[in-house]
Amino acid sequence: MSWFETLTGVRESSPPVVRECFTLHSNTLTSKINGKTFHCGRLETPTLAELRHQANIDKSVGQRIKLREVIGDIQVLHADIENSNSLFQVASQFNLLEMVSPQVTPENGVGIYENDFTQGPACAIACGAGTIYRNYF
């Protein structure tokens, strides 16, 4: 059983079948199979200009960010309560999903991510609801 099926109760098959197993309301996914509800967040892909504008607004608030380079097990870092509300920047692919080889497509599902021990898939699993949203919705 993959992490996806353990989390949602849904067996990955074709994308249309998987989509039928969920309801999506605003930023919330609910599995029709096990009744669990997941907050999937809001996907944003801002331009560089938009990021610069946001950064200028944030400067006026007077808050400072902390930046650290940490080398370690990303799954352990995600599970650490001290990292709650942290942003992790990791190596990943440009399409917001993780393809483990050139032959793999989003139609292959996200459960297979657990077989790739690099940081991109590990982070995608740590934020499973967002990954499910990006792949299927």
Domain segments of the chain as ranges: 3-136
Q: Please say if the pLDDT value at position 113 is more than 60.
A: yes
Phi, psi torsion values for 48, nearest 5 degrees: -60, -40
Q: Please say if the pLDDT value at position 69 is more than 60.
A: yes
Structure confidence at residue 68 as a pLDDT band (50, 70, 90): confident
Structure confidence at residue 58 as a pLDDT band (50, 70, 90): low
Burial of 5 (C-beta count, 10 Å sphere; 0-12/13-18/19+): middle
Phi, psi torsion values for 58, nearest 5 degrees: -65, -30
Q: What sign does the dihedral 33-42-118-107 (CA atoms) show?
A: positive
Q: What gap in Å lies between CA 92 and CA 103, rounded to an integer?
A: 17
According to the per-residue pLDDT averaged within each range, which of 26-30, 69-73, 90-94 is highest?
26-30
pLDDT of residue 64: 72
pLDDT of residue 82: 93
Name every residue whose Cβ is closer than 8 Å to that of residue 65 and which is 6 or more positions away in sequence: none
- Of 7-11, 40-44, 64-68, 121-125, minimum mean pLDDT range: 64-68
Helices (H) and strands (E) in the chain, counts: 6, 3
For the chain, what percent of residues have pLDDT higher than 70? 95
Q: Please say if the pLDDT value at position 47 is more than 90.
A: yes
